[in-house]
Structure 1
Amino acid sequence: MRGFLVNYLKILLAISAIREMAGGIIRTTTDAAIKKIMARRSLPFEDCGSLYQVNYLNIDSCEKIPCSMQRSSTVKVTVLFDDNGNGVSFLKHEVRWVFNYVKTQALISPDPCDGNQDCILNVNDEKTYWANIFVNETLPVMSGSMLWEAKDESNQNLICFEVPVIITV
Structure 2
Amino acid sequence: MRGALMGYYLKILLAICAVHELAGGVIRSTTDAAYKKYLSIKSLPFEDCGSLYQVSYLEIESCTTVPCSMARNAIIKVTVRFDDNGNGVSFLKHEVRWVFNYIKTQAAISPDPCDGDHGCIESASDGKAYWANIFVNETLPVMRGSMLWESKDANNQNLICFQVPVVITV
Indicate whether the TM-score tops 0.5.
yes
TM-score (norm 1): 0.86
| Structure 1 residue aligned with 2:134 | 133
State the 1:117 CA deviation.
1.1
Once the two structures are TM-superposed, the CA of residue 28 in structure 1 deviates from its matched residue by 1.8
Name the % identity. 75
Give structure 2 stretches of 5+ with no counterpart: 1-19
Contact 1:85 1:125 in 2 (8 A): no
CA distance in 2, matches of 1:30, 1:67: 31
Aligned residue in 1 for 2:157: 156
What's the counterpart of residue 117 of structure 1?
A: 118
Cross-structure match for 2:65: 64
Q: SS state of the match for residue 26, structure 2?
A: helix
Q: Render the CA deviation track for 1:15-68: whole Å, top value 9, x for unaligned.
A: xxxx99x43332221111110000011000000000000000000010100000
Aligned to 1:73: 74
Residues 142-153 of structure 1 aligned to structure 2 (within 5 Å): 142-153=143-154
Distance 1:42 1:127 in 2: 15
1:101-140 deviation digits (Å, cap 9, x = unpaired): 0000000000000010110000013100000000000000
Q: Which residue of 1 aligns with 2:5?
A: none
Please tell me the residue identity of whatever aligns with 1:163: V
d(CA) in 2 for partners of 1:25, 1:75: 41
Residues in 1 aligned to 2:27 and 2:131: alpha-carbon distance in whole angstroms: 29
After TM superposition, what 4+ stretches of structure 1 lie above 6 angstroms from structure 2?
A: none
1:14 corresponds to? none
* Residues matched between the structures, number: 150
SS at match of 2:28: helix
CA distance in 1 between partners of 2:135 and 2:151 (Å): 17
The code of the aligned residue for 1:48 comes to C
**Structure of higher CA gyration radius:** 1
User: In the alignment, which residue of structure 1 is the partner of 2:3?
Assistant: none
Give the gaps of 5 or more residues in structure 1.
1-18
Q: Do the aligned residues in 2 keep the contact of 1:45 with 1:163 (CA within 8 Å)? A: yes
Deviation, structure 1 residue 80: 0.3
Counterpart Cα distance in 2 of 1:49 and 1:25: 33
Coordinate RMSD, CA, aligned: 1.4
